[in-house]
Structure formats: structure tokens, C-alpha cells
Amino acid sequence: MTAIVSAQHLTRKVATSAGSLEILSDVSFDIATGDTVAIVGASGSGKTTLLGLLAGLDLPTSGRVTLAGRDLTALDEDSRAALRASSVGFVFQSFQLLPALTALENVMLPLELAGAPAARASARDLLERVGLGPRGHHYPRQLSGGEQQRVAIARAFAGTPRVLFADEPTGNLDNATGAEVEALMFALNRERAVTLVLVTHDEALAARCGRRLRLAGGRLVADERAAPGVPA
């Protein structure tokens, strides 16, 4: 299958008062279209830094990231932003909804920014799909954590992304609500053939993915795939 995301010899260093700190070191892998991939590892292993590089939110010190056939390291910030808008969805642990907008308006926003026709109708359909049709007129503060994350997922899928990046998507949810959100993400992955790349400390969530990339000390130490015939 064609790689939708490719990391080649990624290294990321940051300057500190004590000198240069290497967060990632020579990380390489490809992710095929439609895959479900969990990036796992202990706190401080470089998981969120890697996710940011794959999504073009940050640039590596050395190495290259290719996303949807484009070399992110060869693009300027405006071009990377345009590529994210056309090809990427995001779900964060803290939901990142705009508090002044209703649930419906939050989902409509990426559609309106893209100039999509019938943005309101499309957003309503997505809210229905995530089980929040009747809650479209509510503001984030009027929704539970699980409902806010459902809105965030609907918003992430509104732009018909090719890749969904999720950073600890169930980290702020109780077990039952987290399980519902997980099921929704994997259902939309199957229905829409969207590649799912998530960072998680939850081994049970990681086990649902077809592949697990395990980091330790900024290095890729294991690339684990589900056994044939085992559903992700």
C-alpha cells in the first residue's frame, strides 16, 4: 500500500541552559493509507514531539517527513498550514473547542474556512453521526467532557481528512466515556478510510490499533503489528 506518512531519519534537538537536548534520534518508518497506528512509550519518550513533526506543526532538526506525498521540510509555514487544512484532522486531550461557538459552529468552522458548500448541513450530519444532533446549539461549557470530545471528532472529520492525528484523545475521560470515544474513532476510520495516528499511554487503546510504534529515550525501539486475523 502507498505510504500516506513517511518519517525518514527524524532527529529533533532543542537548546537548553545545559546545552542541546535531543528529544528524538534517527526515527524512521512509513504509515500506509488506512492504517491505525499508536505511538506509545513512557512520559518524556518523545511521543508528542513525533506527532507534531508528522503533522507539520514543527520541523525536525534533521531528517524528513512526507505527508500525503508532500515533503513537509521543503514547505514554508503557509504551505504546511494549507496542507494540514486539506489533508489532516486533529483531536486533542483538551478538546480545543472554541468556547464562543456552539457545537454546530465548531464543526462548521473548518468547512467554512475551506469554502465548502452547505457547511451547516454537513456539520449537522456529522453531529448526528457522533450522537449529538440535539446538542448542536449548546456551547462547550454546557457539554460533558465526552460530548466535547465527540464534537472535536466531528470537527476533525469535517474536512474529510486523509489522516487523523490524535494526542491522548481519551486522557481526560472516564473509562466508559473513553471507550465510547475510542469506538467512534475506529468506526469513522473504517467508514471513511482515514488513516489514524494516535499518541496514547493507554495500552488497551494502543492494542486496538493495527500497529504500535514504541519509543524509548527518543528512539524507535519496537514496531509491533497485530497478528494476522486479529481485529484492530
Contact 57, 88 (CB under 8 A): no
Confirm whether 6 is domain-assigned.
no
So what's the pLDDT on residue 105?
Answer: 96
CA dist., res. 118 & res. 78, Å (int): 26
pLDDT of 227 reads: 61
The angle subtended at Cα 122 by Cα 139 and Cα 135, nearest 5°, is 25
User: Is 69 domain-assigned?
Assistant: no
- Nearest-5° Cα angle at 210, 22 to 36: 70
Share of the chain above pLDDT 70, in %: 97
| Helix 119-129 vs helix 145-158: crossing angle, to nearest 10 | 130
- Angle formed at CA 149 by CA 163 and CA 51, multiple of 5 degrees: 35
Of 49-53, 57-61, 195-199, 228-232, give the lowest mean pLDDT range. 228-232
* Whole-number pLDDT of residue 230: 47
Interhelix angle 175-192/145-158, rounded to 10 degrees, is: 10
Task: Find the helix or strand (DSSP H, E) in which 80 lies.
Answer: helix 77-87
Per the CB < 8 A criterion, the answer to whether 206 and 40 are in contact is yes
Tell me the HSE value of 110 on the side-chain side, using a 13 A CA sphere.
26
Cell of 170: 481519551
6 within 8 A of 30, measured Cβ to Cβ: yes
Q: pLDDT, tens digit, for every residue of 89-134?
A: 898 888 889 999 999 999 999 888 878 888 999 999 999 988 899 9
- Helix (H) or strand (E) holding 156, with range, is helix 145-158
87: CATH: 3.40.50.300
Q: What is the mean pLDDT of the chain?
A: 90
The Cα 77–Cα 96 span in angstroms is 21
Is 67 domain-assigned? no
Q: Is 80 a member of any domain? A: yes
pLDDT(140) > 90 = yes
Domain membership of residue 11 (yes or no) is no
| Residue-number span of the structural domain to which 145 is assigned | 33-59+74-225
91 falls within a domain: yes
Distance CA 115, CA 218 (A): 40
Count the domains in the chain.
1
Q: Enter the pTM of the model.
A: 0.87
Residue with cell 486475523: 229
